[in-house]
Chains A and B, each alone.
Chain A
């Protein structure tokens, strides 16, 4: 085994974890696009979704498939309640006030989850097979590879859906110009609610995947902080950018972990994001807007 071999193997593993980052980032970006709300509760929403899955699949013995459906439905209902009760009344308020509301929601979810399920790790049923995947000579841990495959498929499906569906047009219209969107019969509040549903879906799937790759704890949501770098890199309002940025950040984390040591893993994505912001303040794919008079 030479060093180059290790490098490639780490790279593939990193890129794979980037897929899940992209899935989480997508949930944050769609909400930001529709309502300029940065949802800091995304990590906690993921974590709660994973607990919902655990409860449905294990406690109520519904099994994996029905458990997943129950968790998705529960997550969607919860996201709609959060949007309706906590965020819709904040419409038009300063950005920072809205951000603080999402922080608060995150803390509440963490507290409630601790009260109900306790602070200890839980083992959720194995969805992802452990058998390693072999790409050429390179071994990829089975769970990571399968989680990445699922995440990337869902991200691609959502990107295509938002690109070509009528709902996607409504989202982009509302994001570009609220008044004009309303003038064309688009109910902007419904568009915002729709983006919370998308965030609930990506959050639920990524939460269950993360709980599978690692374990289920109330701290599961911390990973959403790494995703912040993904969003900065991709551009706050770029749906397509999340996938590329997620893969870059995932790769970078793994490779710096290998070369510089694990203590550098956490900070490198932010250093990269900072450098990108210095050169391109809108991120790699964020729009600057076409202007022509």
Chain B
């Protein structure tokens, strides 16, 4: 199947001097879950921001390389148009609109809708995946628990009916049980709606469990890639990311 998203030889510089990515390539095939692994500061979030084109808002820019979606160059598209092409970025830290109600948060996401689906239909789908949001629909999002806020952040993406979700650290600060619940729903969304997921996750165990393919990033470049089965068997991955003691000779 043709690659939906193709990132080639990406170089990103912040404030004109700080190089965050030096040579990063990856591809996300249609309908797949791809994980980006790496330590803090390796450039995982920067990669997502380059794709959704948030970089100019943070004084960064792509200085080399290309980003294409289904063959179309999306490097120069402003963020609000990138999302309307079908790539929805669920930011690290969830960023729900705290003073707006759950439903108003979902209404805000209707600006990203690509299809002519009615608002009612879109919201019903969100509430079907996340029933708790339906109960909380008239509450201020700021009063939701962390897990519910993460559900709302993913729910906003669902409203847009995206082709791909960039999911940044969904497990951040959440209890293991909630993390599993959220990942199960993400996997269902991937399966049932054929939405591809580019996942950035500190928790390598869970990332390798749900993704089918993975990239390891160090110092702004891809150093290792493979199916998650291959990565899980890799000695370095086992030692540095999964915390498994290995006795290589």
A interacts with B: yes
* A77 interface residue per 8 A CB criterion: no
* A186 interface residue per 8 A CB criterion: yes
A182:B143 contact, CB within 8 angstroms = no
> Taking CB as reference atom, which chain A residue is nearest B113?
A185
Known: A177-B97, A180-B95, A290-B98. A186 touches B142 (CB 8 A): no
Known: A177-B97, A290-B98. A170 touches B108 (CB 8 A): yes
User: Which residues of B are found within 8 Å of A182, using beta-carbon distances?
Assistant: 54, 57, 78-80, 83
Pull 27 A–B residue pairs with CB atoms less than 8 Å apart, ordered by A: A166-B110, A169-B100, A169-B107, A170-B108, A172-B100, A172-B104, A173-B97, A173-B100, A173-B108, A176-B97, A179-B58, A179-B79, A179-B91, A179-B95, A180-B91, A181-B108, A182-B57, A184-B80, A185-B83, A185-B113, A185-B160, A187-B80, A188-B80, A289-B98, A290-B99, A290-B140, A290-B143
A123 to B234, CA, bound (A): 86
* A183 interface residue per 8 A CB criterion: yes
Residues of chain A in range 178-217 having any CB-CB distance to chain B below 8 Å: 178-188
A185 to B112, CA, bound (A): 4
Residues of chain B in range 79-122 having any CB-CB distance to chain A below 8 Å: 79-80, 83-84, 88-89, 91, 95, 97-100, 104, 107-113
* A59 interface residue per 8 A CB criterion: no
* B65 interface residue per 8 A CB criterion: no
User: Which residues of B are found within 8 Å of A169, using beta-carbon distances?
Assistant: 100, 104, 107-108
Residues of B within 8 A of A (CB): 52, 54, 57-58, 78-80, 83-84, 88-89, 91, 95, 97-100, 104, 107-113, 140, 142-143, 146, 156, 160, 173
Within the complex, what minimum Cβ distance (angstroms) separates A284 from chain B? 16
- Contact among B57, B108, B173 with A184 in the assembled complex (CB-CB below 8 Å): B108
B143:A292 contact, CB within 8 angstroms = yes
B54:A176 contact, CB within 8 angstroms = no
A178:B57 contact, CB within 8 angstroms = yes
A contact residues, total (Cβ < 8 Å): 24
A172 to B140, CA, bound (A): 13
A188 to B143, CA, bound (A): 26
B57:A292 contact, CB within 8 angstroms = no
Known: A170-B108, A290-B143, A293-B146. A183 touches B91 (CB 8 A): yes
Within the complex, what minimum Cβ distance (angstroms) separates A268 from chain B? 32
- Contact among B89, B91, B104, B108 with A186 in the assembled complex (CB-CB below 8 Å): B108
Having A187-B111, A292-B98, one finds 18 other A-B pairs with CB under 8 Å, namely A169-B104, A170-B111, A173-B97, A176-B97, A177-B97, A179-B79, A179-B95, A183-B54, A183-B88, A183-B112, A185-B111, A186-B108, A187-B80, A188-B80, A287-B99, A289-B99, A289-B142, A292-B142
